[in-house]
Chain A
Amino acid sequence: MKPASYLYLITRVHGLSTHLFSDDDIRGFARARDLNAFVEAVSKGDYAEKIGLLSREAINARNLNRVFSEIYVDRLLYILKVAPQSVDKFLDAYTRKVEVENLKRILGAKFYGLELSMDDLIQLPRTYSVINYQAMLEAESVDDAVTLLMYSVYRGVGNYIQVSREYNSTVPMEAFLDKVYYRNVYKFLSGIPDEDVVRSILGVEVDLRNLYFVISYKLLDAPQNLIEESIIRPFYRLGEEYINGFIRAGKDAILDNFLASPYGWASDKIAPAIEAGSIADLEHGIHSVYIGFLREMATRNALGLGYIMWYLNAIYYEYRNLTSIAFAKELGVEEEDIKLIL
């Protein structure tokens, strides 16, 4: 028997999921004749109030992106607010993607000695994070910025500054942040309800992410050591030997290696991108596979954490799709081209 607070969360998420735009809505937005028509169509539900606050002159893709980002963060944090004790630590760890994203931006800028402001970051409430972004932005160097992470789970990132300097790349630092993120998520996984379902979702997420990085980096002729740095463990269906073999294999064997993976069944979405050498199509294909898997898990686990995991990803994809359409409308991209990336 599941605790009442847990059932309340699931029921609440079912209610919240009705606020999400359907696939037909999104396709309808893509058909909008221009940005104003899109704004008119999207100004309903959760978005109505914040978009309504924008003056006519302020309506542009940048400001809409800010609004969509705020709604996304609000939705994300609301789940944490209503989460019962049994899953709150896990959900808190899972939503830390936005925190990691901000850290990547700050450390990347500091690494290259560039100016960045709070406006360049995802706006998060001060109570959500123990990290003082303002102080990090004001730090004189990446070393100083990293010392401000001393009391957070990301403190080990300082050990990767030297290797990042050797490669003249932020890949080791950013990959470390991702590794810490997943390590933390896995840490709070034990003992939560529907642990097996969540473990399989996380496993597939990490596997697909690893495949995306290995295939993309190989298509881009990235050095082997950087590909190795980018890999996140533990693997789920992929094996250590398989990944190592894939990293060492030649560029012409990418497709064969992918087809030999446990995800070879998704070749209709991935293989054309590999053959065309298109990272954009590959990214879209990987996301399609992942969201398809999440939908299936949500259907099978409609009264469990699988549904919440789907919701947390669905709000992210809605944010992403709306941002894509806003920029596409501003840039005058054709409807058919927009649909390709949704």
Chain B
Amino acid sequence: MSFVSGVSASPGVLLALRDQLNFIIKGKEILEMKRDRLAGEINRLLGEVKIRGDMERELREAYSLLVQVLMRIGYKNLRTIAKSVGYMDIKFSTEMVMGINLVRLGVERSVEYTSFYEPLIQALAKKLNEAFKYMVKTAEIENNIEMLALELMSTSRKVNSLEKIVIPQYRETIRYVEERLMEDALGEFVRTKHIVSR
């Protein structure tokens, strides 16, 4: 082990190594806690991601209604009416969870679909409005799952690396330094005994 071979065996180094190992073990425990929290958060969001099915259903229904309206009133008429659709305001904010910026999206102002005279157009606008709300929520959930999953991967790699490589290396080094110090102490003891017996 290259790490072991470069270490000078002295009591000071042994103390420093033991301190470092304790610090690394505590760090690993914190990372494990973070990993569990991230996994918990992802699990919670995975429960919510079924909203995608609702969104797809809403979009299918909205598309089917759009086709029906288009067939009934024609392109030109629909285009003219569509021009009078107001904007939808989406509030974008972020929330820090375990060091990750999670996105929060909220519909601040919906389209005023009751402003249309023709009920069929109102129905279409209402349907599209609902579909869009589902799209916003789905986007928020899926984006957050992606961010959390990336962080979970990175955290798991760190925990694994500490657990499987760094900590065993430190333990090996400490054992090596301890053995070297023990050998040195034993040599010193034999030398002292020899001098005393002369």
Interface set of A (CB-CB < 8 Å, partner B): 61-62, 65-66, 69, 104-105, 108-109, 111-112, 114-116, 119-120, 167-171, 174-175, 212-213, 216-217, 219-220, 222-223, 226, 230, 278-280, 282-283, 320, 323-325, 327-328, 331, 333, 338, 341
Contact = CB atoms under 8 A, between A and B. Distances in A.
Contacts of A111: 84
A216 B122 contact: yes
B67 interface: yes
Nearest to A217: B119
Interface residues of B, number: 28
Nearest 9 A/B pairs, CB to CB = A216-B119, A169-B115, A279-B123, A324-B71, A174-B117, A112-B84, A65-B74, A114-B83, A327-B71
Contact of B117 (A109, A120, A175): A175
Contact of A171 (B69, B117, B120, B123): B117
Contacts of B112: 168-169
B7 interface: no
Contacts of B22: none
A220 B126 CA distance: 8
Interface string B71-84: 11011110111011
A216 B125 CA distance: 13
B65 interface: yes
A118 B170 CA distance: 82
Given A220-B113, A278-B123, A320-B72, 10 more contacts: A62-B75, A120-B76, A169-B117, A170-B116, A171-B116, A216-B120, A222-B114, A226-B114, A283-B120, A333-B71
Interface of B: 65, 67-72, 74-77, 79-81, 83-84, 86, 112-117, 119-120, 122-123, 126
A319 to B, nearest CB: 9
B84 A327 contact: no
B119 A114 contact: no
Contact of B72 (A69, A112, A282, A341): A341
A223 B120 contact: no
Contacts of A282: 119
B70 to A, nearest CB: 5
Contacts of A324: 71-72
A247 B139 CA distance: 39
A323 B123 contact: no
B83 A116 contact: yes
A168 B113 CA distance: 10
A108 B81 contact: yes
A341 B71 contact: yes
Nearest to A164: B115
A222 B122 contact: yes
A114 B120 CA distance: 21
Most buried by A among B69, B72, B79, B81: B72
Give the one of B74, B116, B123 with max A CB within 10 A: B74
A327 B119 contact: no
A280 B67 CA distance: 11
| Residue of B70, B71, B76, B119 most packed against chain A (CB within 10 A) | B71
A278 B123 CA distance: 8
Nearest to A222: B114
Nearest to A325: B71
A239 B114 CA distance: 26
A216 B75 CA distance: 23
Contacts of A168: 112, 115
A168 B86 CA distance: 11
A65 B75 CA distance: 8
B75 A61 contact: yes
A327 B75 contact: yes
Nearest to A65: B74
28 contacts: A65-B74, A65-B75, A69-B74, A105-B77, A108-B81, A108-B117, A114-B83, A116-B80, A168-B115, A169-B112, A169-B117, A170-B115, A171-B116, A171-B117, A216-B119, A216-B123, A220-B113, A220-B123, A222-B122, A279-B119, A280-B72, A280-B123, A283-B120, A327-B70, A328-B67, A331-B71, A333-B71, A341-B72
